[in-house]
Amino acid sequence: MTYDKRSLTPLIQQLEEIIRSATELEDQYGDYITNIHPKYKNSASNMIHYLALRHRDITQMQKKLGDLGITRLGKAESHMMASIFNAVNILKRLIGLRIPVKTRSHLSIQQGIQLIRTHTTALLGKKLKGSKVRIMVTLPTEAAENKKMIRNFISSGMNSARINCAHDDPEIWKKMIDYINKAKRKTGRNCKICMDLGGPKLRTGLMKPGPKVIHLQPERDDVGSVRAPSEVWLAAKDARVPDDERIHIPLNENWIKKLKKGDIITFRDARDKKCNLKVGAKEANGRWARCYDSAYILTGTRFALQKKKKKDKLTTRVGEILPIEQKILLKIGDQLILHKDPRSGEPARFDENGHLVKPAHIACTLPEVFSDVRPGEPVLLDDGKIEGVINEVLESKMIISVTYAKEEGAKLRGDKGINLPGSNLRLSGLTQKDKEDLKFIVKYADVVNFSFVNDPQDVMDLLEELHKLGRTNLGIILKIETQRGFKNLPGILLSAMRSHPIGVMIARGDLAIEGGWKHLAQIQEEIMWLCEAAHIPIVWATQVLETLAKKGRPSRAEITDAAMAQRAECVMLNKGPHITEAIRMIDEIMKSMENYHQKQAPIIPKLTSENVLEIG
């Protein structure tokens, strides 16, 4: 069967033009490719070919190719030129031409697919049986004192242990790493050690401390019945809290050892109201307890425990309670002052008639950004829960008007993120603390996760520092968290390809804030496309099965989101009291989805459901 030469010739010409422009672009970036690590030479060329294709609108050409049953080039990221050449040769044969296109050597389709697998194994180790997707887990501080926890993580499917250098210290990190290495020997499984550099932290400063009191407040339904009790952790003053979101009541360590599950602790709160705590499970060096009524606990509150076989009550006093951190309540139209000096923040003050006396104010942890911001630029606070616009920039402060917050108002606390997505910030991705932390990382870790990569120079700074420390083979994962990082991704990847192995983490939380919630899906897809073209593994991060990890039960949307992570090479879970269950579930989801996706391309296996077609 022959086809109309007049209809197919323009298609052939379009494809050959793409080949020419891709070759020219590769020649144009020849100097960059010269400096690329030998294992990434072909990958760098393929990424450049892909950029040449994507810098033009090929939607009509794709439709025509699809109508002919030929590749639409929509899933050809890892083997760009091979797919184009194949399409040209097929079209030429359809109109009777038998001469194949003569080209310079290029990756075959199978070679392109294999390169991603090879680079992934080099960075994240061999895959577990049943799934190609690795599982990275953020270790809580408690892991430094609980070797069983780490062993359970690895047995459940963790391939990479993530240690965040923004928290804890080298002593704690070393304990975690020692337990990881022991667990690897015990289980016979591989687990890479990945350590996050904190990067520049643009956050709110501290708030002025409030009263020293713990307010226990159970969750109630609409008629006042307790839906969920308040959970507290009873432990010595300096004990590490297993979960940052739980309340810690400091008590005498020897008294806590006498507690048993089911015991009832009685006390009178700050209002002289009689209250109870029901003792629960033991964890680490403390005990969980539940309170089914509202209570206010002060330093020195007397706790009493009545043992069944003893006549006397065992009593103790609550230790020094940390002051409550005040918060700023912000509503649409409110004013907030962000200042350079590190004085403690305060809520707004009003007179007896409700007139504003002094607007709310809080410090900024990176005052150097003040020289980079301009009036009219947007500001997002606390993961985008509060939005505003800069009205005025002065030498020591910027004045912000709130443009979005919850109807009842949003509460801003200290140490919350500040995002300036419309500002051209000149922050370096590598801080002095990062350089100090790198000295530990190069000695003990397999991979460094590089936060807030904004441009190629950030990458070059990291590579230079690693060269000074004599560890040029350290794995590198580039965390793409900002608009600038996303826009500069091709140059960032070319710079990073000087080293091997490398990967990219899609930090969806910050990207959603920086790029806008409605653009996150688009940004995420484009990062995945570009990294597949460069044969660079992707880490799918932020809020994966977060509700399961924190509360013990996932949401429906989280299951769908986790299944989409099958298109990445690695999925990252954050810490929570139910993290082991989350590891097991993500492992099961990845295994079940293995036969449905190969990167961006869907695979069509036999239906697993008993579908019956009945006619008549």
SS3 of 170, please? helix
pTM (two decimals): 0.82
**Residues 225-272 pLDDT 10s:** 888 999 999 999 887 776 656 789 999 999 999 999 999 999 999 999
Q: Which residue has the tokens 């009191």?
A: 213
Average the pLDDT over 332-352 and give the result: 94
SS3 of 105, please? coil
DSSP class of 209? B
What was the pLDDT predicted at 64? 87
**Residues 553-602 pLDDT 10s:** 888 888 888 888 888 999 999 988 889 998 999 888 888 877 665 655 54
Nearest to 105 by CA among 49, 51, 65, 56: 49
CATH 3.40.50.720 fits 328-419, yes or no: no
Per cent of the chain over pLDDT 70 is 93
What was the pLDDT predicted at 604? 38
DSSP class of 518? G
List, as one string, the DSSP characters of 556-600. HHHHHHHHHGGGSSEEEE---TTHHHHHHHHHHHHHHHTTTEETT
99: confidence class by pLDDT, cuts 50, 70, 90 = low
Q: At what angle do helices 5-28 and 41-54 cross, to 10 degrees?
A: 130
What was the pLDDT predicted at 351? 86
What was the pLDDT predicted at 70? 84
**Residues 488-515 pLDDT 10s:** 999 999 999 999 999 999 998 888 888 8
Average the pLDDT over 389-396 and give the result: 95
Residue 425 has pLDDT above 50, yes or no: yes
CA 251 to chain CA mean position, Å = 35
Neighbour tally for 24: CB within 10 Å: 11
**Residues 130-148 pLDDT 10s:** 678 899 999 999 899 888 9
| Mean pLDDT over each residue of the chain, to the nearest integer | 89
Q: Which residues have C-beta within 8 Å of that of residue 305, sequence separation ≥ 6?
A: 255, 258, 259, 263, 264, 265, 266, 313, 314, 315
Per cent of the chain over pLDDT 90 is 59
What HEC string does 235-291 produce?
Answer: ECCCCCCCCCCCEEEECCHHHHHCCCCCCEEEEECCCCCEEEEEEEEEECCEEEEEE
Instruction: Say which CATH superfamily domain 213-317 falls into.
Output: PK beta-barrel domain-like (2.40.33.10)
Interatomic CA distance for residues 150 and 164, integer angstroms? 15
Q: Which residue has the tokens 């990881």?
A: 180
**Residues 158-208 pLDDT 10s:** 999 999 999 999 999 999 999 999 999 999 999 999 999 999 989 999 999
CATH topology of domain 116-196+429-602: TIM Barrel (3.20.20)
Average the pLDDT over 320-335 and give the result: 91
What was the pLDDT predicted at 495? 95
Return residue ranges of the chain for CATH 3.20.20.60.
116-196+429-602
Residue 376, sorted as left (phi over 0), alpha (psi -120 to 50) or beta, turns out to be left
- Start-to-end CA distance of the chain, whole Å, equals 38
What was the pLDDT predicted at 501? 97
Q: Contact, 554 vs 560, CB < 8 A?
A: no
Residue 606 has pLDDT above 70, yes or no: no
Residue 9 has pLDDT above 70, yes or no: yes
Return residue ranges of the chain for CATH 2.40.33.10.
213-317, 328-419
What was the pLDDT predicted at 309? 64
2-16, 143-157, 439-453: the lowest-pLDDT one: 2-16
